[in-house]
Structure 1
Amino acid sequence: MIRTARPFAPLSLAATAAASLVLVTACSSGAGNGTGTGAEARTEPGKPGGTAVFAMTSDPDTLMPWKATQFQAVNVLGNVYGTLTEYDKDLKTVPGLAEKWEPSADGKTLTLTLRKGVKFTDGSDFDSADVKFSLDAIRDEKTAAVARSALTNVTEVTATDPSTVTLTLSAPDAALPSGLASVNLAMLPSEASDAAVMSALESTPNGTGPFTFDSRTPSQSVKLKRNDAYWGDKALLDALEFRVMPDENAIVTALKSGNVQLATINDPLVARTAEGGDLTTTKTPQLSYHTLQLKASSTTQPALADLNVRLAIACAVDRQQVLDTAAYGEGEVTGPITAPAYKSDPDARPCPKRDVAKAKEYLAKAGGGALVLKTIVSQGEYATSVNEAQNLKSQLAEAGITLDLEVLDIAAFVKRWVAGDFEAAVALNGGRPDPDTMYGRYFTSKGNLQKVAGYSSPELDALFAEGKATSDEGKRKEIYAKVSRELEDDAAWVWLFTGNSYTVASSKVAGFVPMSNGSLQSLRTTTIQ
């Protein structure tokens, strides 16, 4: 897995053929030949000051970090809130609000030493009471925090002194330090234990990040300001605006006119139209993965509980065809785990290649008959969703399986998805550097997103527990290879492909470094001339 940004390369030969009609339009609008990147990308920051406008296709659906699953919300909140640990540009876990952490000899406690002098936006001091409140609240099922499963092994949080927190664990947890880097485990002030304060945070964030919340105009923009009290190196921009522009072609037009300085584009063809002139386009392979989620526990489609049915669906899909059709070949077919150190072998599945005859055999074993899956699809969060769904519908129809597609705006999709209110879903889910934090919340029987996954097993529970309990990297790789094989053999979902993000920036922008987990954390080092 390539984890660093690289220049935008030409589309593959197959992709070019599949997209030829569209490319006529792209080239006539001034697009280059696909080999250039326009202005030279500037990774070294320039003179501080000014306001940068970052365009995104959807309005954040929440400003509460513990509830955020939508990519746009996560990206905004990651610049406002702080976490106990962070990731560096290579996705290694490094200190955040905790300047160090130390496990006990038996792995049953983790002692965090907090930074001193850290303040929230409202001027209040950050200390161990805030950590205890935040972690206890996230652990509480009533909070419905989307990353609660990252704290499964935490049995007690003790504020030992103002700058020390001790986590008592039921078992050693090698994944915990990495898990604490997620904005879904952001630190909130302990005053939010009051319901009125917590309610206010849903519209006016109060964090410890490099930027502070300024204002929001729903469906138009979220504006941030530099946090001059930030504990680390201060952001170089005076202000940052996330501007909502649902159409990626319109975003490119705004970039060319100078009304927008920076954007992440999902559609490879649209990214091509941004080549040349004053703009730089950088392609970054992503850890996030495209998948057809199957709800094995569905009450409205009990056939999905039958392994033969799920295997039929998995065998009827040509993943490369989905990639070529929806993303013009820009990406790679994937298995469940995309984390570089634990990456799944996409050929280690019951049907490495599409096998319609085998799919029909599996359906016959399940009793035959028509199979109709009500399938939700998002529109607006990423560009390829509807094309993926339509291609999957066409392929599965050849095996006698019907996808009844319901296209939803992103807010409605997320609501249905989090509630597990679907039989199948065409989804783009975030990948993580550690496979436990990536999948433990989905595929364990006590995972807080288990109703989204719709599948668990005693074997997976045991494997995830084993993976947490050892810090030996070699052993962990073996364990998560078994996790991957279990998920594929039982066709829990149909994993499709990983794609690329395309960062388009004005030549006035410097210091922004795209990351393979989609983080926009380098906005703190970004400048605009």
Structure 2
Amino acid sequence: MNRKTLLLPAAAGLLTTALTGCGSSDGSGSDGAAVVVGITDHIEATPSAPAPLDPAQAYDTPSWTVMHNAFQTLMRLPRSGTEPVPDAAQSCGFQDKQSEQYRCTLRPGLKFSNGHDLTAADVKFSLDRVRNINFKNGPASLLSGIDKVETPSERVVVIHLTAPDATFPSKLTTPATAILDSEVYQGKGLYKGFETVGSGPYSMEPEVKDNRLVKAVFTRNKNYQGTLEPKSDKVEIRFFDDSEALEEALSDGEVGVVPKGLNADQIERLQAGEVKGIRISGSAGQAIRYLGFNTDAPVVRDKVVRQAIAHVVDRQALVRDAYKRTADALYSMVPTGTTAHINSFYNKYGEPSIPAARRLLQHAGVQTPVKLTLAYSSDHYGQATTKEFTSLRDQLNGSGLFQADIKRVKWTSFRPAAADGKYAVYGMGWSPDFPDPDNYVAPFVGKKNFLNSPYHNSTIEDQLIPATRQKAQRSLAARDFQRIQDLIAEDVPLLPLWQGKEYVAYRDGVTGTEYIRDSSSMLQLWELGRGASA
């Protein structure tokens, strides 16, 4: 999610309304009813962000979850694996050795859910539109490498890049590149509200209350042309207030699948088999949590202060106390399981050491205790976030080197305030746009970065990232990515904290849960089906 400010599987609690009714009594969609998915995500239209399901605005995991199932892209990720495959395209590929010209031929007979024809002109319109609207905190940065888009015929699209970019096919799998109907969407204005018109495997009907999405009903799109075969004609996503309401709905049979939103205590209880008829599976995740620093803020402008924080923070204690080990300590912005990962922060700072932090600050002449405020949002990242930041505060204050406070802020205020530089230190999460180490570093440095951070490193921006993008065989870029990780550990514009694990709870009779996420953690609702109850 990116992108995307992730919502983590072990951290629940958002602001939407729980629903009852629709769907079968066991949540599994028997007798032709919907397979019901329950989550605690939050999708809201606000004056500053009025179009949460518009590809030009949306850049968060919850919105992308909905869009991923309702829109079609030129490329998509396969059921499992990381190599993009054609979606709306019949074929795609670079036309030059420099990876600067990308050509796609569309499938014949493509149509949108409203029956309108989908042509190369709609693809060009959609890609140009995201870049032209250039919504603040939106996904336009993913397409910043496009120079121009041409349409030699109704089924052919040629995308010219400003520089080589071997990751470009992966970027075309993201909802930022969703193909829109140019007869419905405006070229320079956002499509406000929650309606969608796409060509994906499902069409989506929203149910809204107080400008929040409370239910999304996905119905098989009869006009869909592609290789996906939905296992159910109808799937619903229902949004719950908190993890307690979500677990109750799962236990009562109102919900059949919970792919995220349960807290650590609930996961522990379900793993112990305390709730009859419910199973839970876990796997390594690629979503991460980190601290962001406004490197222009006086209190953390000196990187020595940021390095001292890196010496003090005890990640193992954090995941033990706040998340009951439903997450793993993380020592790089590139998570484990991703090509080129190395433990750069551990290599530089080792185990938590107050004496090492004290020596660093004393040598630099920094007066202690350093006063800090750690800002965070629990309504977006879940109830356990308060425990996490309380623990971080106590670790820093326990060193005697810092005088830290914590500040909880509602997400709708937190995100724009962080981007405007209002917080010196703040907590953020990241779920990958696509499964490549590039997506864990490039969005956070340079001009128009995701955080609007003032941090710049010319070696990373002008040398290393461009070099990695010239290597189509991604393993050959590992050395450059490892150097990037070391430079981030040296400068500490970001401090990685932990890497989430992914859990799926489901009722007997629901099938396809093993494929519910692709390699970028996006939900694949079309994989869910109904089978005989165990």
Letter in 2 for 1:163: R
Question: What does residue range 301-450 of structure 1 map to in structure 2 within 5 Å?
Answer: 301-334=297-330, 335-338=332-335, 340-346=338-344, 348-364=346-362, 365-383=364-382, 384-399=384-399, 400-431=401-432, 432-443=434-445, 445-450=446-451
The residue number in structure 1 matching 2:167 is 175
> How big is each residue's C-alpha offset from its partner over 1:382-402, in whole Å with a ceiling of 9 and x where there is no partner?
433222111111111133223
Range 102-111 or range 498-507, more displaced? 102-111
The residue number in structure 2 matching 1:226 is 220
- Report how far residue 517 of structure 1 moved: 4.8
- Report how far residue 205 of structure 1 moved: 1.0
TM-score normalised to structure 1 length: 0.84
SS in 1 for 2:500: strand
Question: 2: distance between equivalents of 1:235 and 1:182?
Answer: 19
- Report how far residue 367 of structure 1 moved: 2.4
CA contact (8 A) 2:203 2:220 kept: yes
SS in 1 for 2:108: coil
> How big is each residue's C-alpha offset from its partner over 1:94-113, in whole Å with a ceiling of 9 and x where there is no partner?
22222322211333311122
Question: 2: distance between equivalents of 1:134 and 1:50?
Answer: 34
CA contact (8 A) 2:345 2:489 kept: no
SS in 1 for 2:289: strand
The residue number in structure 2 matching 1:73 is 63
Question: What does residue range 471-510 of structure 1 map to in structure 2 within 5 Å?
Answer: 471-510=472-511
Question: 2: distance between equivalents of 1:48 and 1:173?
Answer: 48
Aligned counterpart in structure 2 of residue 237 of structure 1, from 211, 232, 236: 232
Question: 2: distance between equivalents of 1:117 and 1:223?
Answer: 26
Letter in 2 for 1:173: D
CA contact (8 A) 2:443 2:450 kept: yes
For these two proteins, the number of residue pairs brought into alignment is 480
For residues 355 and 478 of structure 1, do their structure 2 counterparts lie closer, same or farther at Cα, with a shift above 3 Å needed?
A: same
Range 419-428 or range 160-169, more displaced? 419-428
Question: 1: distance between equivalents of 2:423 and 2:64?
Answer: 23
In structure 2, runs of 5+ residues without a counterpart are 1-9, 11-27, 45-51
TM-score normalised to structure 2 length: 0.83
Question: 2: distance between equivalents of 1:48 and 1:79?
Answer: 23
Question: 2: distance between equivalents of 1:347 and 1:442?
Answer: 17
1:284 equivalent to 2:283? Answer: yes
Identity of aligned residues (%): 22
Question: What does residue range 2-401 of structure 1 map to in structure 2 within 5 Å?
Answer: 49-61=32-44, 62-88=52-78, 89-103=80-94, 104-140=96-132, 142-144=134-136, 146-191=138-183, 194=186, 198-200=189-191, 202-218=193-209, 219=212, 220-232=214-226, 233-263=228-258, 264-275=260-271, 276=273, 277-297=276-296, 301-334=297-330, 335-338=332-335, 340-346=338-344, 348-364=346-362, 365-383=364-382, 384-399=384-399, 400-401=401-402
Letter in 2 for 1:238: D
Question: 2: distance between equivalents of 1:454 and 1:101?
Answer: 37
> How big is each residue's C-alpha offset from its partner over 1:71-108, in whole Å with a ceiling of 9 and x where there is no partner?
22221221111222111222322222223222113333
CA contact (8 A) 2:74 2:86 kept: yes
Letter in 1 for 2:216: V
> How big is each residue's C-alpha offset from its partner over 1:21-60, in whole Å with a ceiling of 9 and x where there is no partner?
xxxxxxxxxxxxxxxxxxxxxxxx9989421221111331
CA contact (8 A) 2:57 2:190 kept: no
- Report how far residue 273 of structure 1 moved: 2.7
SS in 1 for 2:114: coil
Question: 2: distance between equivalents of 1:403 and 1:129?
Answer: 54
Question: 2: distance between equivalents of 1:115 and 1:352?
Answer: 53
Range 110-119 or range 418-427, more displaced? 418-427
For residues 151 and 274 of structure 1, do their structure 2 counterparts lie closer, same or farther at Cα, with a shift above 3 Å needed?
A: same
User: Is the helix fraction higher in 1 or 2?
Assistant: 1
Question: 1: distance between equivalents of 2:30 and 2:86?
Answer: 27
Range 468-477 or range 513-522, more displaced? 513-522
Question: 1: distance between equivalents of 2:323 and 2:405?
Answer: 22
In structure 1, runs of 5+ residues without a counterpart are 1-10, 12-44
SS in 2 for 1:143: coil
Aligned counterpart in structure 2 of residue 527 of structure 1, from 522, 525, 529: 529
SS in 2 for 1:481: helix
